[in-house]
């Protein structure tokens, strides 16, 4: 049977559908999510099941792209993508060359603002609304934000400014009581009071009957009266929004299309900031996910045919080794505490929390607070470990510098997802942390070659009297044996893995084993023999070993999963330049000066020449090309 969904190329077409057809469309969209995300690509799942009616209501009440709809994060915007001409490509989402994992302005005119990192939508929407007013335009602006993203500082900063400016725009709060894990903090508690107030259900009936009977303006007056008189506990939290300068409409059922459309239609007519509080269920309509909607289990699903992993699928994940090691260390040192910014499962800190419930803190999507909270803990004698993805730590850069490093406080940053993060693409690669951390005075920066070395690095970091950061990749380790006891690695020492007279390869982190494999290929296929070094400290460098080795080699390659700009290779160059020792033939391999797209880690490493074959090929070009062609080599390398 042909599906209505298959006929939708543009949201304009929705306006010709009857209410029953729209409800049929919602059912088909859920089926499409199951067949593509659950069935093929993996990725964000339960959040998208929860926004089907919201997406339909927005695209029937508003006129995108003239009206601006800004989705927070974008992980829950696949229904929006389906309704805006991309349904036929849903089976490619997050895959290399396929639809982007989040919204991207370049992908569709309906994607008004790109995201991937949370809590940005209200700020962006307010910017667009103010621009509209300054340009004398009259389109509508709607920010769609989840209850988790609402705990982000940026969102609260934006609400503060929105209330101050009084700009006409709508904030549609998608409240499913969940972040990835159950939401944390007082904001969700306030929302719960609104959501569960016994009078909500009576008031809900009032709201719908009033809206159906009266023109908008009178309806609002009547609503206000009813709410003020009859819903005491609702009025208090409701007052909070009013005090913030927003007209609060809700809570309404976020899966009731008519309620959503009526409330959005009312809000559209109000010439002020409006917050609509929609209650939804994460996983709605797909029984297993709905049944476990209050767990993190269905936030993301794994692809049915995951790309070949560079590492052994049977090997433990770096994040699990991190968590298990932290538990062992915390058993010996009660000063150790763990901090996550709404990523207990992504960092595996939930394992630590199960063992030490009183020593694990999930602060919500609040990286800035997480870092300075850690600084406060350290200043008072604790040993905090802040487990924050490399990309999300970008949000707390000033806190790292100003609150931790400048005061030389012993905070450990466990930076997971460093380097190529894979299918989440450009917003989630840990592409910048070497560049943004190695320039911070007092910071020690380490990268383990495998999961075993991660164990000893955590021990080392916790032994230091100042800040330390450990960067490690998403996914499985190399399957090396783990240690039962942990030792401190002398700070600033590298590990000479093999010697060869033709070439020096300096590699750090994930790239070390790729470099060793490349050296094997070169010796077998090309008769080139390379020295390979595990440069496990990025700051401080092992300058003594570096100078000794460079003095013996004419050709040097550095390899890292970070942008070349200001990365590990730059650090090596700076150090050699300081000692007038820069070799004439030197290539820095790393991530290019552009935003690397989404795709499997394996594919992206191949494209960027960061896998073993890519490193070997660069070595061949470096050695076989004469000097005048070397620039060509560099250009080739840099264009990958
Ligand atoms: C700055 C930042 N920190 C952490 C994350 C990881 N993250 C992605 S979605 C999400 C939960 C969002 O919850 P909510 O806004 O309620 O949306 P829902 O999934 O419930 O629809 C988190 C923590 C992120 N994307 N950005
Ligand atoms: C949308 C978001 O930011 C998170 O859901 C993120 O995608 C999780 O990444 P991992 O799957 O690597 O834990
Ligand atoms: Mg939520």
Q: Is 133 annotated as a binding residue?
A: no
Closest CA to 536 of 598, 458, 453, 628: 453
395 assigned to active site: yes
- State which residues have CB under 5 angstroms from ligand 3, the bound ion: 146-148, 176, 178
Average pLDDT for 106-127: 98
Ligand 3 center to 151 CA (angstroms): 10
Rg (CA), the chain: 27
The answer, yes or no, to whether residue 307 has pLDDT greater than 80, is no
The answer, yes or no, to whether residue 222 has pLDDT greater than 50, is yes
**DSSP calls for 195-262:** HH-HHHHHHHHHHHHHHHHS-HHHHHHHHHHHHHHH-HHHHHHHHHHHHTT-EEEEEEETT-HHHHHH
Q: Determine the pLDDT at residue 634.
A: 44
Q: Are 382 and 335 in contact (CB under 8 A)?
A: yes
Ligand 3 center to 77 CA (angstroms): 13
Strand, helix or coil at 71?
strand
**Which residues does 39 contact at the CB level (< 8 Å), separation at least 6?**
304
Closest atom of ligand 2 to 417 CA is 12
Q: Determine the pLDDT at residue 391.
A: 98
Q: What is the mean pLDDT of the chain?
A: 92
The best mutation among 46, 80, 144, 149 to test binding of ligand 1, ranked by most ligand atoms within 8 Å of the C-beta, falls on 149
Ligand 3 center to 174 CA (angstroms): 7
* pTM of the complete model: 0.93
Ligand 3 center to 147 CA (angstroms): 5
Q: By percentage, how much of the chain surpasses pLDDT 70?
A: 90
Q: Are 298 and 283 in contact (CB under 8 A)?
A: yes
Ligand 1 center to 89 CA (angstroms): 24
Give the closest residue (by CA) to ligand 2 atom 1: 75
pLDDT digits 0-9 by tens, 273-296: 999 999 999 999 999 999 999 999
Ligand nearest to the CA of 301: 2
Q: Is 45 annotated as a binding residue?
A: no
3 assigned to active site: no
**DSSP calls for 253-298:** ETT-HHHHHHHHHHHHT-SSEEEEEEE--TTTTSHHHHHTTTSSTT
Average pLDDT for 548-557: 96
Q: Determine the pLDDT at residue 635.
A: 46
Q: Determine the pLDDT at residue 351.
A: 98
The answer, yes or no, to whether residue 393 has pLDDT greater than 60, is yes
282 assigned to active site: yes
Q: Determine the pLDDT at residue 556.
A: 97
553 CB near ligand 2 (under 6 Å): no
The more confidently predicted of residues 515 and 193 is 515
Q: Determine the pLDDT at residue 631.
A: 45
Give the closest residue (by CA) to ligand 2 atom 10: 346
Q: Which is the catalytic residue, given 195, 282, 539, 564?
A: 282
pLDDT digits 0-9 by tens, 438-483: 999 999 999 999 999 999 999 999 999 999 999 999 999 999 999 9
Q: Is 111 annotated as a binding residue?
A: no
Using alpha carbons, list the distances in angstroms from residue 562 to 322, 420, 534: 21, 8, 16
Domains of the chain: 5-197+236-298 (3.40.50.970), 318-471 (3.40.50.970), 496-635 (3.40.50.920)
Q: Determine the pLDDT at residue 303.
A: 81
Give the closest residue (by CA) to ligand 2 atom 7: 424
Q: Which is the catalytic residue, given 28, 53, 367, 453?
A: 367
Q: Determine the pLDDT at residue 209.
A: 55
Preceding amide of 540 cis, omega within 30:
yes
Q: Is 6 annotated as a binding residue?
A: no
300 CB near ligand 1 (under 6 Å): no
73 CB near ligand 2 (under 6 Å): yes
């Amino acid at each position: 049977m042909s599906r209505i969904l298959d006929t939708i190329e543009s949201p304009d077409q929705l306006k010709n559908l009857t209410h029953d057809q729209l409800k049929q469309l919602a059912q088909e969209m859920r089926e499409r999510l199951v067949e593509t995300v659950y069935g093929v690509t993996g990725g964000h799942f339960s959040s998208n099941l929860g926004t089907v009616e919201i997406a339909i209501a927005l695209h029937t009440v508003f006129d995108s792209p003239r009206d601006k709809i800004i989705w927070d994060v974008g992980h829950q915007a696949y229904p929006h993508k389906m309704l805006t001409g991309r349904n036929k490509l849903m089976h490619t989402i997050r895959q290399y060359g396929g639809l982007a994992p989040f919204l991207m302005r370049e992908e569709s005119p309906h994607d008004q603002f790109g995201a991937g990192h949370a809590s940005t939508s209200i700020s962006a929407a307010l910017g667009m609304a103010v621009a509209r007013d300054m340009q004398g335009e009259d389109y509508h602006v709607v920010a769609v934000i989840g209850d988790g993203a609402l705990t982000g500082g940026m969102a609260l900063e934006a609400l503060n400014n929105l209330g101050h400016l009084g700009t006409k725009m709508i904030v549609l709060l998608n409240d499913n009581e969940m972040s990835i894990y159950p939401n944390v903090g007082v904001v969700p508690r306030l929302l719960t009071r609104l959501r569960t107030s016994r009078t909500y259900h009576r008031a809900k009936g009032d709201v719908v009957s009033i809206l159906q009977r009266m023109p908008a303006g009178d309806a609002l007056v009547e609503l206000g009266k009813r709410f003020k008189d009859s819903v005491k506990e609702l009025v208090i939290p409701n007052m909070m929004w009013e005090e913030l300068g927003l007209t609060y409409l809700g809570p309404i059922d976020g899966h009731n299309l008519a309620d959503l459309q009526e409330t959005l239609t009312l809000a559209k007519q109000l010439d002020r900031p409006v917050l609509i509080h929609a209650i939804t269920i994460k996983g709605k309509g797909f029984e297993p996910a709905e049944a476990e909607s209050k767990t993190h289990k269905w936030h993301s699903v794994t692809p049915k045919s995951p790309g070949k992993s560079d590492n052994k699928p049977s090997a433990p994940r770096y994040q699990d080794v991190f968590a298990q090691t932290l538990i062992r260390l915390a058993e010996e040192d009660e000063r150790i505490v763990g901090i996550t910014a709404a990523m207990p499962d992504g960092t595996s800190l939930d394992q630590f929390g199960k063992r030490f419930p009183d020593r694990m803190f999930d602060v919500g999507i609040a990286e800035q607070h997480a870092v300075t909270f850690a600084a406060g803990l350290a200043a008072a004698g604790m040993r905090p470990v802040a487990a924050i993805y490399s990309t999300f730590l970008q949000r707390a850069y000033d806190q790292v510098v100003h609150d931790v490093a400048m005061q030389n406080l012993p905070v450990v940053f466990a930076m997971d997802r460093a380097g190529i993060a894979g299918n989440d693409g450009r917003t989630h690669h840990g592409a910048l942390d070497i560049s943004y951390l190695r320039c911070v005075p007092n910071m020690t920066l380490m990268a383990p070659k495998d999961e075993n070395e991660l164990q000893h690095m955590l021990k080392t970091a916790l032994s230091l009297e100042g800040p330390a950061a450990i960067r490690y990749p998403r996914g499985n380790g190399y399957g090396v044996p783990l240690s039962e006891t942990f030792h401190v690695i002398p700070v600033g020492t590298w590990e000479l893995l093999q010697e060869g007279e033709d070439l020096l390869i300096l590699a750090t982190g994930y790239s070390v084993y790729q470099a060793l494999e490349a050296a094997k290929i070169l010796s077998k296929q090309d008769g080139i023999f390379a020295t390979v070094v595990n440069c496990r400290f990025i700051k401080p460098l092992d300058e003594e070993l570096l100078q000794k080795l460079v003095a013996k080699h004419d050709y040097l390659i550095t390899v890292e999963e970070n942008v070349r700009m200001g990365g590990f290779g730059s650090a090596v160059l700076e150090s050699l330049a300081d000692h007038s020792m820069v070799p004439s033939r030197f290539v820095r391999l790393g991530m290019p000066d552009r935003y690397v797209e989404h795709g499997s880690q394996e594919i992206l490493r191949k494209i960027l020449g960061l896998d073993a074959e890519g490193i070997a090929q660069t070595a061949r070009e470096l050695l076989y090309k004469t000097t005048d062609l070397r620039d060509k080599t560099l250009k080739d390398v840099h264009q990958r």
